[in-house]
Amino acid sequence: MAGGLRPQKARTPVEFFLQQLVNGVTLGGVYALVALGYTMVYGIIQLINFAHGEIYASGGYMGVILISWLFAHGFPPMVCLGAALILAMGYCALLAMALEKVAYKPLRQSSRLSVLLSALGMSIFLQNGLMLTQGVYDRAYPTEMVQGGFHVHGVIVSYMQCIIVGLTVLLLVLLNLLVYRTRIGKAMRATAQDKTMSALVGINSSRIISVTFAIGAGLAAAAGIMVGLYYGSVRYDMGFVPGIKAFSAAVLGGIGNITGAMLGGLLIGVIEVFAAGYISSEYKDVFAFIILIAVLYFMPTGIMGENVDDTRI
């Protein structure tokens, strides 16, 4: 036993720093994906969609169900992952659209508080729905599907981290193309800036709102699956903490601002990991929130500025 304890070469401060950076970027990518859903919905209807964390959890569950099944039936890992991603993203998109129709659309003319309460209610409803249908126990992802990694100058990078970062970047690029290069993207931006005016140039704002919910939910589902694979399991209440972090990321970046949410997510992830690495993990959330408060104090609309246009007739 004792003989088995091999002394290892101590790490250099640079390696330590780089390792923490890799860790932080992985975590930040996930926050960014979830943050986008908050920010896009806020941008378009000025609603903090509290149920977004639960959509992320639902994505995680759909993922574990699909991946376990596919993997058990001998499909290659990348096929399992790809198929599960597409199906779970689609499922969550539908779920979010239904959620919007049921819980938010009827309240379009009501006070903001009513909609907010409805969002809170849906969050509780969906979380309990997951608990009742999926049980209180954690569900295991087949982590053996993607194992291993490689060393670069003493920094360990796992393949799963590569997948997370790679997929996050891919999704962010696709989202940017969608928002800035396509007609539906233009319509989304127009609706976010001025709902009445966009209706008056012929945009069906209900449909655009629906699509926005769907896209945000799709991204959250992808994040849910990647988190499940990375940490090995999902649980019905998994949406709560990342939900809060991602929401903070959205606020940090400037709520309503898509680029801001990406940056905010990355920043929260990196700050959290560095605070844990250099100060104490006990206070990592505290630091993330201190930075958030500081940014909001000096830049009240976040790093990139809010994207809220309040021109009225």
Partner 1 sequence: MKRALSLLAVLMLALALTACGGKKDENKAGAADGIKIGSLGPLTGQYAADGNDMKNGVLAAIEVMGPEMGKLGPVTIQSEDDACDPRQAVAAANKLINEKVTAVIGAYCSSATIPASEPLMAAKIFMITPASTTEKVTERGMPYMYRTCGRDDDQSKAAVKFMTDQLKAKTLYIVDDKTTYSQGLADNVEKLGAGANLKVLGHEHVNQGDKDYSAVLTKVKAANPDVFYVSLQNSASAAPMLIQIARMGIKAKLLAQDAVYHPQLIALAKQAAEGVYLTFGYTDKTTPAYQKFLAAYKKYGEPGAYSAYSFDSTVAYLKAVKAAGSTDPDKVRAEMAKLDFDGASKHIKYKENGDSGSNYVIQVVKDGKFTNYWNPETGELFK
Partner 2 sequence: MATLELSEISVRFGGLQALTDVSFRVEENDIVGLIGPNGAGKTTVFNVITGVYQTSAGQVSYDGAPLRGLRPHKILALGVARTFQNIRLFQNMTALENVMVAQHCRTRCGVLGAVLRLPGQKREEERIRERSLEALEFMDLGEYAGELASNLAYGLQRRLEIARALATEPKTILLDEPAAGLNPAESRELMHTIGRISSRGINILMVEHDMKVVMGICRHIVVLDHGVMIAEGEPEAIQRDPRVIEAYLGNELN
Binding site for partner 2 (CB under 8 A): 174, 177-178, 182-187, 189-190, 193-194, 196-206, 211, 214-215, 307, 309, 311, 313
Residues forming beta bridges with residue 244, ordered by sequence position:
none
Q: Cβ closer to partner 2: 194 or 237?
A: 194
- Interactions with partner 1, residue window 118-157 (CB under 8 A): 129-140, 143-144, 149, 156
Closer by beta carbon to partner 1, 180 or else 283: 283
196 binds, among partner 2, partner 1, none (CB under 5 to 8 A by kind): partner 2
Q: From the list partner 2, partner 1, none, which binds 274 (C-beta under 5 to 8 Å, kind-based)?
A: partner 1
Question: Using CB distances below 5 to 8 A depending on partner kind, what does residue 140 bind out of partner 2, partner 1, none?
Answer: partner 1
Picked from partner 1, partner 2, none, the partner binding residue 219 (CB below 5 to 8 A depending on kind) is: none
Hey, CA dihedral for 24, 263, 164, 57, is it positive or negative? positive
Number of Cβ atoms within 10 Å of the Cβ of 66: 20
244 binds, among partner 1, partner 2, none (CB under 5 to 8 A by kind): none
What b/e readout covers 217-253, taking b as 16+ CB neighbours within 10 angstroms?
A: bbbbbbbbbbbbbbeebbbbebbeebbebbbbbbbbb
- Examine residue 313 and tell whether it contacts partner 1 (CB under 8 A): no
Q: Is the Cβ–Cβ distance between 221 and 63 less than 8 Å?
A: yes
Of 6 and 183, nearer to partner 1 (C-beta) is 6
Choose the binding region for partner 1 from 101-109, 193-201, 214-222, 301-309 (rule: CB under 8 A). Answer: 101-109
Alpha-carbon dihedral 277, 282, 283, 284, rounded to 10 degrees: 50
Q: How far apart are CA 43 and CA 192, in angstroms?
A: 5
* Cβ pair 38, 24 in contact under 8 A: no
Q: How far is the CB of 129 from partner 1 (least distance, A)?
A: 5
> At residue 306, what is the residue type?
E
Cβ 2 to partner 2 shortest distance, Å: 58
